[in-house]
Amino acid sequence: MDEAFYQDPEHRPKPTVGEAGEIPLIDLSPLAAESAEARQALPGLLDQVEAACMDWGFLQVVNHGVPLELLEGLQLAAREFFALPAEEKAQVRRDAVNPWGTTKGSTRRTSGTGKRFWTSWCPARRRDAGQRYGRAVEELAFKLLELISLTLGLPAKRLNEFFEGGSPSTFIRLNYYPPCPAPHLALGVGRHKDAGALTVLAQDDVGGLDVKRRSDGEWVRVKPIPGSLIINVGDIIQVWSNDKYESAEHRVSVNSERERFSIPFFFNPDMSTMIEALEELVSDGAPRKYEAYNWGMFFKTRKDSNFGKLAAENIQIHHFKKNTQ
Ligand SMILES: O=C(O)CCC(=O)C(=O)O
Ligand SMILES: [Fe+2]
């Protein structure tokens, strides 16, 4: 195995703390139900969402309303794509401007150190199974956005306006992690935070996603739960909420036995959006913690370097942090 995949010792995956179902598991059925009884479950649901966003920045949801057959259709398409011979995958190139464009199987690199990650990925195309799945997940993402808005003490649809406009930037990616001959030395994806608003992730039954626990900095493996989806808060919600909800650091470990597939849906605002703390949440006593920044500029800068990583040269929200102390 190419030594470029060997991570520096401090980044190598140490055994994670058990697979305990520690990431909060939230049942979203009260959102779908019409009955008064189910509606009464809503305040409890808001409390759960608020606690999960504060304690973890991660949650898992069940009864989320996304038809599983749509997810399975896209999972099948991903399997078929990554099973193609390398030459065929290389022929379909990603369009640098349009993340929904065509596809390309590529290997991620850490641009800072030249270390490589043990994965291939491609964006889902608009016209394939990705589109139907994408529409269903987008509906879920808006419901989650409304819940989050309510937990911030704001009207349910307060954040929706940021997702309207002529330059959408939401996209789906297909990730593939082949079995790795030296999983103790490599990583599928290095530690990072997602830059957008929310990520809705479908993982298969193999497992490998590790979340950094806030209380002690330990990496906790997210247990695969059939039919569930994983939600994580991205940097934009951190800024909108003025640090009430922090985006969580995560990474992907690999294994020597089984290939793994995952499908993140990155729910992002319109490119034209200026990102800053919501005015209802700031006051003289609680000033904005970040300078406003343009999402389209941030997104393009991140994509032109190498997405995802906490590498020094990559654009990060802390570059916009104000000196308030
Ligand atoms: O494969 C996973 O479980 C997560 C991948 C991820 O964090 C990402 O693509 O941003
Ligand atoms: Fe991520």
- Tokens 């930037």, located at residue: 169
Residue nearest to atom 3 of ligand 1 (CA): 209
Atom of ligand 1 nearest to the CA of 251: 7
Judge whether 294 lies within some domain. no
The per-residue pLDDT for 85 is 82
DSSP letters spanning 102-126: ----EEEE-TTT--EEEEEEEEPPT
Count of structural domains within the chain: 1
Judge whether 189 lies within some domain. yes
Q: Which domain holds residue 92?
A: 22-272
Q: How far apart are CA 204 and CA 174, in angstroms?
A: 12
Judge whether 282 lies within some domain. no
Identify the segments of the chain with pLDDT beneath 70: 15-21, 38, 90-114, 125-127, 304-313, 324-325
Judge whether 303 lies within some domain. no
Judge whether 302 lies within some domain. no
Judge whether 259 lies within some domain. yes
Residue 73: CATH number of its domain: 2.60.120.330
Residue nearest to atom 1 of ligand 1 (CA): 262
Distance 192 CA to ligand 2 centre (A): 6
Q: Which residues line ligand 1 (CB under 6 A)?
A: 173, 175, 189, 194, 201, 203, 209, 250, 252, 262, 264, 308
Phi/psi region, residue 141 (left: phi>0; alpha: psi -120 to 50; beta: rest), is alpha
The per-residue pLDDT for 48 is 97
Q: How far apart are CA 220 and CA 31, in angstroms?
A: 29
Q: Which of 209, 223, 307 to mutate to test the pocket of ligand 1 (most atoms within 8 A of CB)?
A: 209
